[in-house]
Amino acid sequence: FYFIPGALSNEEQGYWIRESLVSFPQPPNRTNHTALYGPIFGLFDAVCNHKVLVEVARTTSEVENIPCDDKTIFTPRRYFFTDFCTVETACKSVAASVLLRKLRWSTLGLQFDWSKRNYDVSLPHKKIPDALCHLAKKMALPAMPDGEQFQPEAAIVNYFGQSDMLGGHLDDMERDWSKPIVSISLGCKAIFLLGGKSKEDTPLAMFLRSGDIVLMAGEARECFHGVPRIFTEHEHIDNKALMSLFSNDADLYIRDYIKTSRININIRQVN
């Protein structure tokens, strides 16, 4: 287990916060919304433009114009963003801002199937962005076996709201536990609990602040861990310099989101 405090500069943190909200929820990456609504394009842009997601009947031409190489995964779903919703045109609608606040996870690279708890290589996916791969490889070095390089193949982005927590669990679906999970903290600080190989073991508690990175490899992969709380109260704010990066009007929605939320990007080598 490696704890690297302050691993990212404020500018780097700002970049990855923006990517986590704007780019990472984009299809073919899947989110917790995908099962209900199908692939959702442009969620954050829809928030900025006060749009709502509506369900309507799609025409054949609309399906053909969907911006995706594999259109077959889109045809059963008939949801898209619009400026308004009427009873005549939609039977279900939800504000984009509500969807953003209810975003809990997105998956990059090889897609993780939460229902089966494994990686489904048959699902459409893109490679993890090069910049994130480079960062993960660099940060993983202390935990890597001699002469080996970390190969980022999948990432899970967790989004924590004000009352969210992550119960004690193991990350045990990757083939080789000697390779680390690279875990990046962004936004509000959190309590991280590192336990033992049994849930009965007393955990060690520590703060994770924005820009901190944790590596878990080898025996640490066999330890239960979780996040019981994030701190959103004003008296606990200790990332004012980070917030100042989002001071202009164009970044209003990023600033409002991150001041009461935490984002965790954890990158894995699957094989």
Distance CA 204, CA 192 (A): 8
Whether 29 and 126 have beta carbons less than 8 Å apart is answered as: yes
Whether 28 and 124 have beta carbons less than 8 Å apart is answered as: yes
Distance CA 261, CA 263 (A): 7
**Residue 69 is assigned to a ligand binding site:** no
**Residue 236 is assigned to a ligand binding site:** no
Q: Which domains does the chain carry?
A: 2-32+103-268 (2.60.120.590), 46-98 (no CATH)
Among 268, 176, 178, smallest CA distance to 217 is for: 178
The 10s digit of each residue's pLDDT in 189-236 is 999 999 999 999 999 999 999 999 999 999 999 999 999 999 987 766
Give the helix/strand (H/E) hosting 62.
helix 60-64
Q: Please give the span between the terminal C-alpha atoms of the chain, in angstroms, as a whole number.
A: 20
List the chain pLDDT tens, one digit each, 271 residues: 999 999 999 999 999 999 999 999 999 999 999 999 989 999 999 999 999 998 876 555 655 565 555 444 444 457 888 886 554 554 578 999 999 999 999 999 999 887 777 888 888 899 999 999 999 999 999 999 888 999 999 999 999 998 899 999 998 888 888 999 999 999 999 999 999 999 999 999 999 999 999 999 999 999 999 999 999 877 667 778 888 899 888 899 999 999 899 999 999 999 8
Among 239, 107, 135, 262, smallest CA distance to 192 is for: 262
Q: At a CB cut-off of 8 Å and minimum separation 6, what does 9 contact?
A: 211
Residues pairing with 204 in the sheet: 194
Q: At a CB cut-off of 8 Å and minimum separation 6, what does 115 contact?
A: none
Among 49, 26, 36, smallest CA distance to 93 is for: 36
Q: Are strands 190-194 and 225-230 parallel, antiparallel or unpaired?
A: antiparallel
Distance CA 190, CA 206 (A): 8
Residue with tokens 């990757």: 174
**CB atoms near residue 245 (< 10 Å):** 19
**Residue 225 is assigned to a ligand binding site:** yes
